[in-house]
Amino acid sequence: MTQTPTSSAPPPGHSPAPGAPTMPSVPPQPTRAAAPAQPRRTAFAEGFDQLRAAATTEPGRLRIIGALLALFVVAFGAVAAWQMTERAAAADDVLNRSQPLSSDAADIYRSLADANTAAASGYLAGLQEKPAMREGYEKDIRTAAEKLVKAAANSEPGSPSANTIAELSRLLPEYKGLVETARANNRQGYPVGGAYLRAANEMMQQKMLPSAEKLYQTENQRLRSDYADAKSFPWASAGLGLLALAALAWAQRRNYERTNRVLNHGLVTATAASTVVLLWLAVSHTVARADLNDSYDHGVRSLDVLHEARIASLTARSDENMTLVRRGADSKTLDDGTVVDSYDWGYDQQIAQLGKALARAEGLADDSAGQKPVQEANGFMKVWKDRHNLARDDNNSGNYQAARDRVIGAAKEPTSVCFDNVDKALATALTHEQNEFKLAASDGRDSLTGLPTGAAVLAVLGATGAVLGIGRRLSEYR
Phi, psi of 159 (to 5 degrees): -75, 165
Residues 6+ apart with CB under 8 A from 91: 230, 288, 292, 441, 444, 445, 448
Q: Please name which of 375, 360, 377, 349 lies closest in space to residue 305, comparing C-alpha atoms.
A: 360
Which position has the higher pLDDT, 198 or 40? 198
Average pLDDT over residues 458-477: 83
- pLDDT tens digit string along 378-414? 999 999 999 999 888 888 888 888 888 888 776 677 8
Average pLDDT over residues 320-343: 74
Is a pLDDT exceeding 80 seen at residue 27? no
Q: Please name which of 441, 454, 435 lies closest in space to residue 92, comparing C-alpha atoms.
A: 441
Please tell me the distance from the alpha carbon of residue 344 to that of residue 307, in angstroms, as a whole number.
23
**Which DSSP symbol is given to 41?**
P
- pLDDT tens digit string along 5-19? 444 445 555 555 555
> Model confidence at 3, in pLDDT bands (50, 70, 90)?
very low
> Model confidence at 232, in pLDDT bands (50, 70, 90)?
very high
**Which DSSP symbol is given to 157?**
T
Q: Please name which of 118, 445, 184 lies closest in space to residue 290, comparing C-alpha atoms.
A: 445
Is a pLDDT exceeding 90 seen at residue 79? yes
* pLDDT value of position 186: 82
Q: Please name which of 469, 80, 82 lies closest in space to residue 274, comparing C-alpha atoms.
A: 80
Instruction: Give whichever of 80-89, 96-105, 130-139 has the largest mean pLDDT.
Output: 80-89
* pLDDT value of position 130: 75
DSSP structure string for 401-466: HHHHHHHHSSSSS-HHHHHHHHHHHHHHHHHHHHHHHHHHHHHHHHHTTTHHHHHHHHHHHHHHHH
At CA 197, angle to CA 193 and CA 199, rounded to 5?
115
Instruction: Give whichever of 148-157, 326-335, 468-477 has the largest mean pLDDT.
Output: 148-157
Please tell me the distance from the alpha carbon of residue 95 to that of residue 89, in angstroms, as a whole number.
10
Q: What is the mean pLDDT of the chain?
A: 84
Please tell me the distance from the alpha carbon of residue 317 to that of residue 407, in angstroms, as a whole number.
9
* pLDDT value of position 51: 59
Which ranges of 126-159 does DSSP label H, i.e. alpha helix? 131-153
Is a pLDDT exceeding 70 seen at residue 45? no
Average pLDDT over residues 211-218: 90
- For 106, 161, 423, the CA distances from 213, given in Å and listed in that order, are 8, 11, 19
Contact 94, 226 (CB under 8 A): yes
Please tell me the distance from the alpha carbon of residue 172 to that of residue 149, in angstroms, as a whole number.
12
Average pLDDT over residues 19-28: 53
Q: Please name which of 124, 90, 209 lies closest in space to residue 416, comparing C-alpha atoms.
A: 124
Q: Going by DSSP bridges, is the β-strand pair 331-333/339-341 parallel, antiparallel, or unpaired?
A: antiparallel
Phi, psi of 27 (to 5 degrees): -65, 150
Residues forming a β-bridge with 331 = 341
End-to-end CA distance of the chain: 88
DSSP structure string for 304-372: HHHHHHHHHHHHHHHHHHHHHHHTT-SEEE-TTS-EEEHHHHHHHHHHHHHHHHHHHHHHH--SHHHHH
- For 161, 257, 467, the CA distances from 253, given in Å and listed in that order, are 59, 6, 16
Is a pLDDT exceeding 60 seen at residue 90? yes
The whole-model pTM stands at: 0.75
